[in-house]
Structure 1
């Protein structure tokens, strides 16, 4: 398998905001983080104001920490796919789990029918184990029981009597002569 290397990583310039409303930000905050943080902060605080009302001293962390954490960690480069940001990976993963993935068949010449999509239980199988309400002990006991039940029974060994043959060009030529006389008959 071939792997590619990105040589243009050093051209990925990050713009920084050094001053905001007359306030000096020192070396500057990355603009992507700042814009995403302000947007998330506005949406999050607006939603919580509608649901919970004004923040109290105890609930102020609930109003501040989630958008700040999401902006700070979400704008970092992903460890899985270095060309994407964490927030992009999170959104793609959530979309896959909730909506699924429409398979590409024949390079897009034919649209996939709904039966060809990956079913929800198959998409959630890997991550669903962590979300189950069962205890860890029950889950391990269930997996141990299913492993012994699904073990396949081996049959007798299959004996292969393969003999390699080497055909020279003269034999291939004679076989070709015995075949159809023209290309229209071969089709």
Structure 2
């Protein structure tokens, strides 16, 4: 039986705003997170397009401006899956997981995972790997994702934990911390 918790109150959403930019009054102000995201996306996107296509012309101007602004508009909104994160953060974490993965945590981090215990790319991509194999990039995707034999078959048998609760009184806690934790009787008066 699993338990699900619900948050009935909204999280604090303190967004600092930029009211002036290079001497231009912005009125109510723009949310700084969205402004920084838009500037960084515009610079990186336009830099890449300048290297590929050269200076923008009238027909290609839309290609230079629209994708970063659309990504900023949707990326700076709260995620519907995790209300504490923005969409851009969710996208970045998903992309990182699909390409690089993450190191598994074993026994609460007490032991570092060996490289053979990491999930392979094909296992991380799951059903998306089959969809990608049916596209024109299927041969490249198959090579990059690796063979299907790398998908783990499953985990082992469940571990049975035998936990036992203990209740310690203040005197036992004081002894555990040593004599410095217990006040002396003659100093109390």
Tell me the TM-score normalized by structure 2. 0.64
RMSD value over aligned CA atoms?
Answer: 2.0
Q: Which residue of 2 aligns with 1:129?
A: 130
Return the alpha-carbon distance in structure 1 between the equivalents of residues 47 and 57 of structure 2: 15
Q: Which residue of 1 aligns with 2:7?
A: 5
CA shift, 1:7, in A, is 4.1
Q: Which residue of 1 aligns with 2:97?
A: 96
- Structure 2 counterparts to residues 25-174 of structure 1, below 5 A: 25-133=26-134
- Structure having the higher helix fraction is 1
1:65-109 deviations in Å (ceiling 9; x for gaps): 111111121111111111111111111111111111211111111
CA shift, 1:2, in A, is 4.3
Return the alpha-carbon distance in structure 2 between the equivalents of residues 104 and 6 of structure 1: 31
Q: Which runs of 4+ in 1 moved over 3 A?
A: none
Return the alpha-carbon distance in structure 2 between the equivalents of residues 45 and 87 of structure 1: 19
Gapped regions of structure 1 (runs ≥ 5): 136-187
CA shift, 1:50, in A, is 1.3
Return the alpha-carbon distance in structure 1 between the equivalents of residues 8 and 20 of structure 2: 33
Return the alpha-carbon distance in structure 1 between the equivalents of residues 29 and 103 of structure 2: 42
CA shift, 1:8, in A, is 6.0
